[in-house]
Each structure stands twice: as C-alpha cells, then as structure tokens.
C-alpha cells in the first residue's frame, strides 16, 4: 500500500506539469486572439496581416493523420493575391508543431502536389465540390476568408466582423478529412457546425 501511495505522489507533479502546459497553450492562443483584436483597433493593423496570423495559429491546434505529419515541412498552399498573399508569405519558415512551414502559391487544386493546409482567398474557386472532395482524401485543412465558407465544405472560415477577426468551424468536414482540431480551437470559434 505504501508503494502505491508513493507512486501516486510521484505522478502528481507530472500531471500538474501537463495541465500547466495545456493551460499555457490555451492562454497563449486566447492572448493572441485578444491581442489581435486590440491591435487592430488601436494601431490599425491590416486585415491581411491578421489573416496570416490566424492561419499560422490554426496550424498549431490541428492534428493530421500520421501519413501527413511524417514530413518535416508543413506545406501551406495559398490561392490568394495582393496583400493577403504577401502577409501569408511572412510565415514561411516559421515553426509549427516542430515542423517548418513552407508557403506554396498555387493556381489550381488538386494538381498542386502535397499540401497540409489549403487557403483560398474569398472561397471563390471553380468546381468547389471537386476541391473539397480532393482535400478530404488528402487530409488537408481547408481555410477560406469568407463567413459562409463552412457551408461550402471548408473546415475553417475566417472572416471580419465589425472590427474583429472571427472564425467558424465545420467539424463534420474535419472529421471526414481525418483531421483532429483541438478543443481549445473549437471553444474559440464563433460557430461550430457538426
């Protein structure tokens, strides 16, 4: 009995550290979101910069199937132009989940090679059903910057609401893609549909 009590006492600090780490990640993400809202209002930060920051943060709270995460790179395919593309290019080379992010400008999908994330500006693309089906098969996190993107089959839709950047999540599409989204990310979404 004494050995069992000693074992339990030794395990408690490990559980506390794990809980602290989890809590720290949650607080860090919430802080980034709150800070982004404050900075947007106070300093007039460009919407395109916020989209890039949110896209980067999303990659930290996603778990891909093993076949996607064996590569040392996290490839983000971007179908965007102008300021949005320029802002997203700034996250090229940053680390997310111990993987180096590589931004890849693409003009068509699914003929774009391996991707982990697909960002489409404006959610406007020809043959959206084919894009969604291909992304599901390839376990790709799909993100667009229109409120109704989740209704079109995207996993995350990022949008501006007044002076705030918000996002919605289509959990059903994430599950079909075998992608697990952190519960912390789900809690921060404005809307989650199943």
DSSP element (H, E) containing 136 = helix 128-137
CATH at 121 = 3.40.50
**Mean pLDDT over all residues of the chain?**
82
Six token digits for residue 183: 């519960």
136-174 tens-digit pLDDT: 999 999 999 999 999 999 999 999 988 889 999 999 999
More confident residue, 36 or 191: 191
pLDDT value of residue 26? 53
Q: How many residues does the chain have?
A: 194
> What is the extent of the structural domain holding 77?
46-193
Model confidence at 41, in pLDDT bands (50, 70, 90)? very low
**Is the residue at 172 inside a domain?**
yes
pLDDT value of residue 175? 96
pLDDT value of residue 96? 95
Model confidence at 99, in pLDDT bands (50, 70, 90)? very high
Structural contact between residues 100 and 73, judged by C-beta atoms closer than 8 angstroms: yes
Can you tell me the distance from the alpha carbon of 163 to that of 112, in angstroms, rounded to the nearest whole number? 34
Model confidence at 40, in pLDDT bands (50, 70, 90)? very low
**Is the residue at 52 inside a domain?**
yes
**Is the residue at 17 inside a domain?**
no
**Is the residue at 131 inside a domain?**
yes
**Is the residue at 4 inside a domain?**
no
Average pLDDT over residues 111-128: 84
Classified as helix, coil or strand, 117 is strand
**Is the residue at 21 inside a domain?**
no
Domain count within the chain? 1
53-75 tens-digit pLDDT: 999 999 999 999 976 556 789 99
Residue 115 has pLDDT above 70, yes or no: yes
pLDDT value of residue 172? 96
**Is the residue at 112 inside a domain?**
yes
CA angle 46, 48, 184 (to 5 degrees): 105
**Is the residue at 102 inside a domain?**
yes
């Amino acid at each position: 009995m004494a050995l069992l009590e000693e074992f339990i006492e030794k395990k408690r600090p490990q559980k506390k550290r794990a809980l602290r780490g989890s809590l720290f990640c949650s607080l860090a993400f919430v802080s980034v979101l709150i800070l982004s809202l404050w900075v947007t209002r106070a300093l007039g930060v460009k919407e395109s910069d916020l989209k890039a920051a949110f896209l980067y943060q999303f990659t930290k709270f996603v778990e891909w199937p093993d076949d996607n995460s064996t590569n040392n790179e996290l490839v983000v395919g971007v179908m965007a132009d102008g300021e949005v593309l320029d802002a997203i290019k700034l996250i090229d080379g940053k680390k997310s989940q111990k993987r180096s992010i590589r931004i890849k400008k693409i003009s068509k999908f699914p003929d774009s090679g391996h991707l982990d994330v697909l960002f489409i500006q404006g959610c406007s693309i020809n043959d959206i059903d084919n894009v969604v089906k291909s992304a599901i098969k390839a376990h790709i996190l799909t993100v667009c910057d229109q409120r109704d993107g989740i209704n079109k089959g995207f996993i995350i839709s990022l949008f501006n609401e007044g002076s705030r950047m918000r996002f919605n999540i289509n959990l059903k599409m994430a599950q079909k893609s075998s992608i697990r989204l952190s519960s912390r990310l789900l809690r921060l979404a404005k809307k989650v549909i199943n």
